[in-house]
Structure 1
Amino acid sequence: MAEHQPHSHPESEAPVDFREVQRSPQFQELRKRQRSFIFPMAVVFLVWYFAYVLLADYAHDFMSTPVIGNINIGLILGLLQFVSTFGITMWYVSYANRRLDPIASELRGELEAKGVSLPEETK
């Protein structure tokens, strides 16, 4: 019995021309949509993060301003870092489900129709 190598192509599978897939209009649209979300969001988050770090380092009086009891602005902004991280993650998942997954599924269907067998973890 022949062993199946992880990256080999059994006779029944068509080889994938990845460059052709990358040049397809669907793949280009998928990349465009993904980048149009990821790059601006990364910039926004990094600006927000570094603003917090700079405020913590250079604006001690502002960051130590009490809000309620022992809770100060620095603590609130620090906790908002976590909130914003989870918020961005949830927003991206929603965006991917609505705007990216339909195109990715269409591409996958086209490849499978050509006889390409894709790994189970990509389904």
Structure 2
Amino acid sequence: MPPEDSKRPLDPTPIVGAPTDVSPLTHAGPKAAHERTAAEEAGAINWEAIAASSGFKELLRAKKRFIIPAMIFFIVYYFALPVLVGYARPLMSKPVLGPVNLAYLFALSQFFMAWIIAALYVRAANRFDRQAREIIAENSAAR
């Protein structure tokens, strides 16, 4: 029986694996730790040591200090529109610029707020990536 998509190469990966398999059945990606040779292990990064390091824990705390308040702010900002339209109709129906009322202005501001938060996150993520590279370099140098 021909494959459904004849242009796609056949995957030689077996359909089932042993119950002791610790890595997904695939031919791509890094080998599991128990399958590496000593030569391959020599250049490997010790992720367990990195996860236990104080620098990594500080990186996680820094990420949480940014992500959680930003997420809470945006969720509150996003859900403020339907709540205000439902419960503060006189306020939200006040005209601001001709036929444009406060509700339309607030809805439009959500697009700008999303872009601002995305830009702030990109800036913070670059800082987090730089810290992560430094942590990996410190761990590699300590070996």
Class of the TM-score when normalised by the shorter of the 2 chains: 0.7 to 0.9
CA RMSD of aligned residues (A): 2.6
Tell which deviates more after alignment, 9-18 or 73-82: 9-18
- C-alpha spacing 1:17/1:100, structure 2 compared with 1 (3 Å): same
Question: Matched residue of 1:85: which SS?
Answer: helix
Instruction: Give the CA deviation at 1:17.
Output: 4.6
**Cα displacement (A) at 1:77:** 0.3
Q: Provide the residue aligned with 1:101 in structure 2.
A: 129
Task: Provide TM-score, normalisation by structure 1.
Answer: 0.74
Structure showing the higher helix proportion among its residues: 1
User: How far is the alpha carbon of 1:39 from its aligned partner?
Assistant: 0.8
Normalised by the length of structure 2, the TM-score is 0.65
- Give the deviation of 1:20 after TM superposition: 2.4
Query: Could you list the per-position Cα deviations for residues 52-108 of structure 1 after superposition, in whole angstroms to 9, with x for gaps in the alignment?
Result: 2200222222211111112110000001111111101101111222x3122111133
Write out the 4+ residue segments of structure 1 that deviate beyond 4 Å after TM superposition: 110-115
The one-letter amino acid paired with 1:41 is A
Q: Which amino acid aligns with 2:84?
A: L
Asked if 1:40 corresponds to 2:40, the answer is no
* Separation of aligned partners in 2, 1:91 and 1:16: 30
Unaligned 5+ runs, structure 2: 1-25
- Kindly, what percent of the aligned residue pairs are identical? 33
Whole-angstrom CA distance in 1 between matches of 2:28 and 2:94:
62
Residue 67 of structure 1 aligns to a residue whose secondary structure is: strand
Task: Determine which structure has greater relative contact order: mean sequence separation of CA pairs < 8 Å that are 6+ residues apart, divided by chain length.
Answer: 1
Change (3 A) 1:84 1:64: same
